[in-house]
Structures are given as C-alpha cells and as structure tokens.
Amino acid sequence: MSKRAVILAGGKGTRLKPYTISLPKPLVPIGETPILEIIIKQLVNFGFTHITITLNHFADIIKAYFGDGGKFGIKIDYSLELTPLSTMGPLKLIKDLPENFLVLNGDILTDLNFADFYDSHCTNNSGFTISAYSRIDSVEYGVLVADSNFNLIEFKEKPKNTYLVSMGIYCVNRSNLELIPDNTFFGFDHLMYKLLEVNQPAKIYQYDGYWLDIGRPDDYEKAINEFGTKKFI
C-alpha cells in the first residue's frame, strides 16, 4: 500500500539561532547529514513513497537541495505557504492527500518506526493519532503543600513530574481537514481543542524509544553528541 507523508518545514527556526541565521533549520546538519535528509531516508526505509514538504522560510534553498526526491528514491513535491499557517493550516493547501497520511515536523530526531505508527493508526480506524513521549522533569526545590489555612500538610523534596508530550509526529485522517479553516494560522493546539469540542478526541500512541526535538540550541547539541550512538538510517 502506498504511504504518504507531509513534512512541516516552513518555520523560521527562531529558537535555534544562531545556527539558522543563514541556513534553514531543516538543513542544519546532525553529523554530516541535514536533519531533514535523515527524516526522508527514514521514511524511505519504512516504505513511504511520496513526501510533500510544506515551505515558507528559505523555500528555494530547501527545494534546490531535495529536488524531486529522485536521488533519495522517493517522490518529493512541495507546498508553499505565502503567509505562516502554523502546523495544521498548511494541510489545507495540499489538494491530493489520501485518506490517511503521516504528518511530522522537519526537526525531529527519533528512532520511531514510522510504518508501525502508520499501520496502528489505520488498523484502529483513528481520526487523528498523536505519537507521545513520556518526559520526566525534576523540581529543583523542596515543594510545600499547604491546606486552606496555610498549614503544611505535605513536603516533597525535589519531586519528579512525569507527563506525556507530543513528539510532533501525527497520523491524520483526511476528514480532519474539514475542521481546519482556509488560509488561517491554525496549529496543532487549535485542532486538538476543536476535536475535543466535537467529541472526536485524538488517539495517543506512546513511544518509549529515542526522541529529540532539535528546535533549541541545547537540544541540537545533544543530538549531535548522541547521533553516532544509535542507528537512525
């Protein structure tokens, strides 16, 4: 079965400055390979046959580098945003999306099996599936818990909080496009609120492997240091 993916690569990479002053974030290298090239090679390995890259900032440079995808063994085409549309808004510009398709940010380093994720979404007949990662944050202080009279009722020394976060990788059924307005800045958060409002909550696919969003300099440097320790492509 043919599998389609949409890679969101239209952002300015503001959080990743100074690396993105003269280079689009999708072309920032991990080792010797641009992060977007790593993602594309992963998609090829997992049986995807057609990728659409959404572009805005530095669009011509990205198109010149990846071309029609021939050198990667996959079809690549592009969707250009004339104004920023966030993460879900660009999907309305793509008129030939199949019933189910993968959507992912163009700055993610992960060893997630994209094929398994896609197949799970289709098998479960999900409308929208979110890949999720468990994060643990440590509070660097002793936490005081008080009652209504400000009497101490519990003390927690540097507690750890665990919660699920979106990995920026989604499987989407085309029916969701009806909830996305045309030519409007419309993000993942807007769509999640909308799905809850219409009682069509997204499914969560928890993943416990490797995942890193390289949107900030410290995460980017961590990705560089860890890239050679795992197999991604």
Torsion sign, CA atoms 67, 70, 74, 77: positive
Cα–Cα distances (Å) from 3 to 44, 51, 55, in that order, read: 10, 9, 21
Tens of pLDDT, residue by residue over 183-207, are 999 999 999 999 999 999 999 999 9
Cα torsion through 92, 63, 8, 44, rounded to 10: 110
Distance between CA atoms of residues 27 and 61, nearest Å: 9
Residue 230 has a pLDDT of 74
- Domain spans in the chain, listed from the N-terminal domain onward: 4-132+164-229
Name residue 206's amino acid. Answer: Q
pLDDT beyond 80 at 121 = yes
76-79 — which CB contacts under 8 Å span 24+ positions?
76/40, 76/50, 76/51, 76/52, 77/50, 77/51, 77/52, 77/53, 78/52, 78/53, 78/54, 79/52, 79/53, 79/54, 79/55
CATH 3.40.605.10 fits 4-132+164-229, yes or no: no
Tens of pLDDT, residue by residue over 134-179, are 988 888 899 999 999 999 999 999 999 999 999 999 999 999 999 9
Q: Which residue has the higher pLDDT, 230 or 112?
A: 112
Residue 14 has a pLDDT of 53
> pTM for this structure?
0.89
Q: Report, as an integer, the average pLDDT of 51-74.
A: 92
